[in-house]
Structure 1
Amino acid sequence: MPHSEYLRYVALGDSQTEGLGDGDDLTGLRGWADRLAEHLTAADSSLLYANLAVRGLTAGEVRAGQLAPALALRPDLVTVVAGVNDLLRPGFDAASVAGHLEAMFAELTAAGAHVATLTFPDPGKIIPIARPLRYRALELNARIRAAAARHGVTVAETAGHAVTTDPRLWSADRLHASPLGHERIAAAMADALRLPGSDGTWALPLPPRRALTGGRAVAAELRWAGTFLGPWLVRRLRGVSSGDGRTAKRPELLPLDGTPGTPGARPALGHP
């Protein structure tokens, strides 16, 4: 579909699509989907944009809670990015996760939308203790590519590029992209969709920097484990999700700079 026909964009997914790591819940979340909407708006100011993503959701939960509302919005462009929360859990089943993604691909494309998704970088290169998850990511990526090919879905290949595991593209928790990371994801998606002004420069490496070594590296890992890993494990053991009680930040199709009843006002992105 030519870029000029993307006038109704809906984003489905979890915390990355919601925008965690790019702003906060007080000042508002931006995120790669908002950045992609900005790119689309630059091409056509009449774009309407909705973001149904909610943090903490599995692919099955995204399908159960977001697919029907997305179809009701009659989008012509949809991004579907989910599966990382499944990948991190003990009972991960790549076939089941990919099945939920493919079901969304099928229904959305059948409704006339152009769908785009992405592949995931090796989590072990971002979080050293997650190295055993590498093969999970490889299998999920292979299944995403196959499902996308069956339904004409565009895939932004963010896996396989060294820059996507550069620590500067990730926030302090190493689970969510930093503002620079969200910028690169949006650029990768724009490039995959062949939007005007996009190109492959998003995959270029950042300038070299000195890595931590020895005791400083160990201390950094211990700080990360105490600040982020520990609380995450506690939530998993308690069966608590970071998305509990939250709703989509942009449930309606709106101009990027408008809210219902308030022409020209930008919504407080990130508030539940």
Structure 2
Amino acid sequence: MPGTDTSYLRYVALGDSQTEGLGDGDDIGGLRGFADRLAEHLARHEPALQYANLAVRGRLAAQIHAEQLAPALALRPDLATVVAGVNDLLRPRFDADEVCTHLDAMFGALTAQGALVATITVPDLSRVCPIARPLIPRVTELNEGIRDTARRHGVIVAETALHPVAGDPRLWSHDRLHASPLGHRRIAAALAQALSLPGSDDTWTHPLPPQTLPTGVRAVGTELRWAAGFLGPWLLRRLRGRSSGDGRSAKRPLLHPVLDASLTAPDDRRPALDDRRPVTDG
């Protein structure tokens, strides 16, 4: 079990767009995301930390297993995060057992090699995106599978699904699928607390101040703009059999030191992650 005296030297993140950092920065200035933010937290207490991020947007659980597990094992992490399954539950044919089979293989291989593994549960997004209500049973089934699979392998679970604040629209980007910078910060904080890292606490579960949401014509306009800007293009990619991750590779495939810029720069700026010294072996 993690404790405040635990020091991690190699952190590897596996996953899809959330782990890659979509919603927190952009492809021009660079993506940050919860995994980068967690790496920064770790590096504050262990400056020798090396960090790799193998995540690629659009990947299904089977693809994450097939494409990212072997490279992750080759990096010999002592800490890994594995987040997968959201892209699967958005597909017409969703099989929670199949997703968890891939999670089981990844959890098992990483823990057998000596890594501590952490993951998260999926929040109910119906507050953010009302048309997601039909997906609630899928989310519930996936979360139950994540918990059961994690329990078998001693994997740490950050229970983001259990706290109402996870459904606050301010924690989500305009596309309603990826976390906003604030949302990524809270996911990182949830993982830090689950791992009992120094300086972590439960403030990530606290609600945000009340806000006034648009109603009437303004609310309808907001929904129409979202449908035209995000839902339509997403559906078009599905009909064409395409993915947002086509042709993309991991943004940080090798282990590198983390230079924590959050201590000297505004929180919404991308951290300075040092790519000058790759480390592929011990």
Question: Normalized against structure 2, the TM-score is what?
Answer: 0.91
Q: Relative to structure 1, is the Cα distance of residues 6 and 222 closer, same or farther in structure 2, using a 3 angstrom cutoff?
A: same
Alignment of 1:56 with 2:58, yes or no, is: yes
Q: Please identify, of 207-216 and 233-242, the stretch whose mean Cα deviation from structure 2 is larger.
A: 207-216
In structure 1, the residue corresponding to 2:43 is in which secondary structure? helix
Alignment of 1:260 with 2:265, yes or no, is: no
Q: Relative to structure 1, is the Cα distance of residues 97 and 183 closer, same or farther in structure 2, using a 3 angstrom cutoff?
A: same
Q: Is residue 4–residue 43 contact of structure 1 (8 Å, CA) maintained in 2?
A: no
Q: Relative to structure 1, is the Cα distance of residues 105 and 261 closer, same or farther in structure 2, using a 3 angstrom cutoff?
A: closer
In structure 2, the residue corresponding to 1:141 is in which secondary structure? helix
Deviation of residue 63 (structure 1)? 0.4
Q: Please identify, of 214-223 and 2-11, the stretch whose mean Cα deviation from structure 2 is larger.
A: 2-11
Q: Which residue does 1:187 correspond to in 2? A: 189
Deviation of residue 123 (structure 1)? 2.4
Q: Which residue does 1:234 correspond to in 2? A: 236
Distance, in Å, in 1 between the alignment partners of 2:277 and 2:212 is: 51
Deviation of residue 117 (structure 1)? 0.2
Q: Is residue 36–residue 186 contact of structure 1 (8 Å, CA) maintained in 2?
A: yes
Q: Which residue does 1:154 correspond to in 2? A: 156
Distance, in Å, in 2 between the alignment partners of 1:116 and 1:261 is: 26
Deviation of residue 118 (structure 1)? 0.4
Distance, in Å, in 2 between the alignment partners of 1:45 and 1:217 is: 47
Distance, in Å, in 1 between the alignment partners of 2:277 and 2:211 is: 48
Distance, in Å, in 1 between the alignment partners of 2:121 and 2:277 is: 38
Q: Is residue 52–residue 250 contact of structure 1 (8 Å, CA) maintained in 2?
A: yes
Q: Is residue 157–residue 194 contact of structure 2 (8 Å, CA) maintained in 1?
A: yes
Q: Is residue 4–residue 44 contact of structure 1 (8 Å, CA) maintained in 2?
A: no
Alignment of 1:92 with 2:108, yes or no, is: no
* 1:16-165 paired onto structure 2 within 5 Å: 16-165=18-167
Q: Please identify, of 238-247 and 123-132, the stretch whose mean Cα deviation from structure 2 is larger.
A: 123-132
Name the aligned partner's letter for residue 240 of structure 2.
Answer: R
Name the aligned partner's letter for residue 184 of structure 2.
Answer: H
- Ranges in structure 1 where 5+ consecutive residues have no aligned partner: 263-272
Deviation of residue 261 (structure 1)? 5.5
Distance, in Å, in 2 between the alignment partners of 1:135 and 1:77 is: 31
Q: Is residue 127–residue 169 contact of structure 2 (8 Å, CA) maintained in 1?
A: no
Root mean square deviation, CA, Å: 1.1
Distance, in Å, in 1 between the alignment partners of 2:202 and 2:153 is: 24
Deviation of residue 64 (structure 1)? 0.4
Q: Please identify, of 209-218 and 55-64, the stretch whose mean Cα deviation from structure 2 is larger.
A: 209-218
Question: Normalized against structure 1, the TM-score is what?
Answer: 0.94
In structure 2, the residue corresponding to 1:219 is in which secondary structure? helix
Distance, in Å, in 2 between the alignment partners of 1:125 and 1:256 is: 35
Deviation of residue 55 (structure 1)? 0.3
Distance, in Å, in 1 between the alignment partners of 2:182 and 2:219 is: 23
- Ranges in structure 2 where 5+ consecutive residues have no aligned partner: 260-273
Q: Is residue 77–residue 114 contact of structure 1 (8 Å, CA) maintained in 2?
A: yes
Across the two proteins, how many residue pairs are aligned to each other?
262
Distance, in Å, in 1 between the alignment partners of 2:163 and 2:52 is: 29
